Amino acid sequence: MQPFCTFTGVLNDIISTMFNRKFMEELFKPQELYSKKALRTVYDRLAHASIMRLNQASMDKLYDLMTMAFKYQVLLCPRPKDVLLVTFNHLDAIKGFIRDSPTILHQVDETFQQLTEIYGGLSAGEFQLIRQTLLIFFQDLHIRVSIFLKDKVQNSNGRFVLPVSGPLPWGTKVPGLIRTFNNKGEEVRKVEFKHGGSYVAAPKEGSFELYGDRVLKLGTNMYSVNRPVETHMSGASENLAAQTQESIAPNPLAKEELNLLARLIGGMEIKKPSGPEPGFRLNLFTTDEEEEQAALTRPEELFYEVINIQATQDQQTNEELARIMGEFEILDQPRRSASKGDDLLAMMDEL
Amino acid sequence: MFRRERSIPLRGSAAALCNNLSVLQLPGRNLTHFGVVHGPSAQLLSAAPEGVPLAQRQLQAKEGAGVSPPLITQVHWCVLPFRVLLVLTSHRGIQMYESDGSVMVYWHALDAGDASLVQAVFARGIASSGHFICVGMWSGRVLVFDIPAKGPNIVLSEELAGHQTPVTDIATEPAQGQDCVADMVTADDSGLLCVWQSGPEFKLLTRIPGFGVPCPSVQLWQGTIAAGYGNGQVRLYEASTGTLHVQIDAHARAICALDLAPEVGKLLSAAEDTFVHIWKLSRSPEGGYIEVEHCHGECVPDTQVCGARFCDPAGSSFAVTGYDLAEILRFSSM
């Protein structure tokens, strides 16, 4: 197999695992917001659903990127309902990667239907609550991402730029007008005031159909032009007292969370490179030495914890998870692919 | 014109909620209390006039069933005739404390009751009316608690039915006399406003329908309702009739907070568009109906504002909180 085909294989494996029916069924069940640990655990498993492997440092970096990119998208949604449009943008892009695989395409389309069924009819108030809850997950994360810094979308203190110009949310008028009415509902006065921004009305509403112009750019491919993949650790996390308190306090419901994870992950197939075909390792740093160094110097407050299954008392759940986890090994394969992160990303974009 | 004053640091950043700042002015003691929700905890702090922080305290939402610690939706001081209570609403229930947060005097657990699996259950919207404290619920109901002059003998006296969607905010003012007996307004996620007359039994006077967006924040001043909406509009209505008198295209994103300086009729609006605006409300000499004038606009760069309050009754200073910001920003007029 040539490296190029292997690469398509990796994408197909990851996407088909992510859109696996059982996995989606679990995701769509009404549930509380995941803890950071739980999400990281699921993410780790997903990232290893193919023959691709990442070392701890690269995995951390990938997760940081994903988290900050998603935070950006949720934060900048003009209206709360736009989080659904962002999700549809994600699905549209994913469908682009698996154009030639009808089975996986069908899985993604089914997920689309489910999203529309469950979220399509929610009110603005319900979307507001969803968005506010998602923002709680991202609170206090200020990791600087190179592509965001370069595009002036993020400040050097890690906070996102909120422009006071540009298109308004669908349904919002250009600020600046005060209209007064009398008791009969007739307009008796119209006064303008200086609102300080420079906005334009939205041209049209984004489409919520299976195919359509989403209008919103949030959630589309950030890497459509070849870019470096750096993130910066120093000064990234503020209010440690508030943040670490959450992870230090013993969680009496760890067992319930583990059950949830067991159901989610249980359906995931772990790929092991078989026979002469080597796995390939994705390194998001410029060199292996840099990757090692990153692992050693990562600030403690940014250690991602993956659920430790030994912590549970429940023998059965423990065994089940141990079995699943045991099937997964990080194989020390000789490097076949380029060790430069951007080369691989460039390859991904070419697909 | 306003200038930035010294910020007050917070232990935890502010959560992306609406009405996420409560201020208790204590001019007699030269102190101001601030309350901000972080997430599963809320922070109370007191500051001297120059913004020098003096004392702080953190309150947690009372635990209950669930995978994660319960989230607080709002924290608010209620000024009653003989005492001040601090009320904290969460996804589990309603907690009431003495004003400094030192002692919990009452706990009311939410009854998930008819909530379907997909509905979030929470209390939100807090206001005092005479010797009552009113708190809104996810179901649209408003609970009315009868508060004694002192002690923990708080009783749930009534449950008001007026809303079908989660309550967002409640505003009250002393009744204005014979012409206008409306002294309470409740708002919800559908944008519906209910206007009430308080008493041993609260009476629903009128309803003002929404128009497809939530009304996260509402105020009441001299018989005029000021309502801020999710599409950035501020609307003013006559409380007794529900008639719309003023419509302001005020903000480019959802409004998250409104506040009033009742002595001078100043209205503060804050939104996720990073702007805070101050408006002057008055009655026109001819028709006697409400008029609005824009006074001042302030941009808080790169900050999705989530709470804003005047810090004095004349409205010459105000404070602002923003999502992810671990400080309270203060502004005062020059």
Q: Where are the domains of chain A?
A: 1-158
Measured between beta carbons, which residues in chain A are less than 8 angstroms from residue B12? 239, 241-242
* Cβ atoms within 10 Å, residue A240: 12
Measured between beta carbons, which residues in chain B are less than 8 angstroms from residue A194? 294, 297
Q: Which of A29, A31, A133, A179 to mutate to test the interface with B (most CBs of B within 10 A)?
A: A179
Q: Among partner residues A133, A175, A260, which is closest to B252 by beta-carbon distance?
A: A175
ipTM field:
0.94
Measured between beta carbons, which residues in chain B are less than 8 angstroms from residue A153? none
Residue A222: the pLDDT is: 80
- Mean pLDDT (whole number) for A169-198: 95
Model confidence at A270, pLDDT cuts 50, 70, 90, reads low
- Mean pLDDT (whole number) for A142-163: 94
Residue B64: the pLDDT is: 65
Q: Which of B1, B19, B67, B238 to mutate to test the interface with A (most CBs of A within 10 A)?
A: B67
For residues B250 and B234, give the distance between their C-alpha atoms in angstroms, rounded to a whole number.
6
Q: Considering only residues A28 and A303, tell me which one the structure prediction assigns the higher pLDDT.
A: A28
Q: Over 50: is that where the pLDDT of A252 sits? A: no
Region of poorest pLDDT, from A200-209, A328-337, B89-98, B246-255: A328-337
Q: Say if the Cβ atoms of A128 and B189 lie within 8 Å.
A: yes
Q: Considering only residues B20 and A264, tell me which one the structure prediction assigns the higher pLDDT.
A: B20
- Could you read off the pLDDT of A103-131 as tens digits, one per residue? 999 999 999 999 999 999 999 999 999 99
Residue A349 DSSP SS3: helix
Phi, psi of A27 (to 5 degrees): -60, -35
Q: Identify the sign of the CA torsion A249, A253, A255, A256.
A: negative
Residue B136 CB-half CA count within 13 A? 30
Residue A266: the pLDDT is: 63
Residue A84: the pLDDT is: 97
Model confidence at A201, pLDDT cuts 50, 70, 90, reads very high
Measured between beta carbons, which residues in chain A are less than 8 angstroms from residue B233? 173
Residue A230: the pLDDT is: 62
For residues A127 and A131, give the distance between their C-alpha atoms in angstroms, rounded to a whole number.
6
List the strands of the sheet with B255-261, edge to edge: B255-261, B266-271, B275-283, B290-299
For residues B133 and B244, give the distance between their C-alpha atoms in angstroms, rounded to a whole number.
28
Instruction: Give A108's contacts (C-beta < 8 A, 6+ positions apart).
Output: A15, A19, A91, A94, A95, A98
Q: Among partner residues A135, A178, A260, which is closest to B248 by beta-carbon distance?
A: A178
Q: Over 70: is that where the pLDDT of A311 sits? A: no
Q: Say if the Cβ atoms of B248 and A179 lie within 8 Å.
A: yes
From A11, A56, A1, select the one nearest A344 (Cα to Cα): A11
Query: pLDDT per position in chain B (334 positions), as tens?
Result: 899 999 999 999 999 999 999 999 988 888 999 999 999 999 999 999 888 888 999 999 987 666 567 999 999 999 999 999 999 999 999 999 999 999 999 999 998 877 777 788 999 999 999 999 999 999 999 999 999 999 999 999 999 999 999 999 999 998 877 777 899 999 999 999 999 999 999 999 999 999 999 999 999 999 999 999 999 999 999 999 999 999 999 999 999 999 999 999 999 999 999 999 999 999 888 777 899 999 999 999 999 999 999 999 999 999 999 999 999 999 999 8
Measured between beta carbons, which residues in chain B are less than 8 angstroms from residue A161? 302
Residue B197 DSSP SS3: strand
Count of structural domains within chain B: 1
Measured between beta carbons, which residues in chain B are less than 8 angstroms from residue A249? 69
Residue B107 DSSP SS3: strand
Q: What's the 3-state SS for B212-234? A: CCCCCEEEEECCEEEEECCCCEE
Virtual torsion, Cα B296, B23, B281, A188, nearest 10 deg: 80
From B110, B126, B208, B117, select the one nearest B167 (Cα to Cα): B126
> Alpha-carbon Rg of chain A, whole angstroms?
23
User: What is the domain-level CATH number for residue B20?
Assistant: 2.130.10.10
For residues B126 and B75, give the distance between their C-alpha atoms in angstroms, rounded to a whole number.
8
Model confidence at A51, pLDDT cuts 50, 70, 90, reads confident
Q: Over 50: is that where the pLDDT of A326 sits? A: no
Q: Among partner residues B38, B243, B299, which is closest to A183 by beta-carbon distance?
A: B243
Token pair, residue B33, equals 């209390």
Q: Over 60: is that where the pLDDT of A321 sits? A: no
- Residues counted in chain B: 334
For residues A139 and A83, give the distance between their C-alpha atoms in angstroms, rounded to a whole number.
17
Burial of A287 (0-12, 13-18, 19+ CB in 10 A): exposed
Region of poorest pLDDT, from A136-140, A218-222, A337-341, B69-73: A337-341
CA of A169: which chain B residue's CA is closest? Answer: B253
Q: Say if the Cβ atoms of A181 and B247 lie within 8 Å.
A: yes
Residue B2: the pLDDT is: 93
Q: Say if the Cβ atoms of B189 and A181 lie within 8 Å.
A: no
Residue A276: the pLDDT is: 54
Q: Which residues pair with B327 in a beta bridge?
A: B9
Contacts by residues A116-123 (CB-CB < 8 Å, ≥ 24 positions apart): A116/A208, A118/A28, A119/A84, A120/A84, A120/A208, A122/A81, A123/B165, A123/B189, A123/B190
CA of A170: which chain B residue's CA is closest? Answer: B231
Residues spanned by the domain of B276 = 2-62+70-333
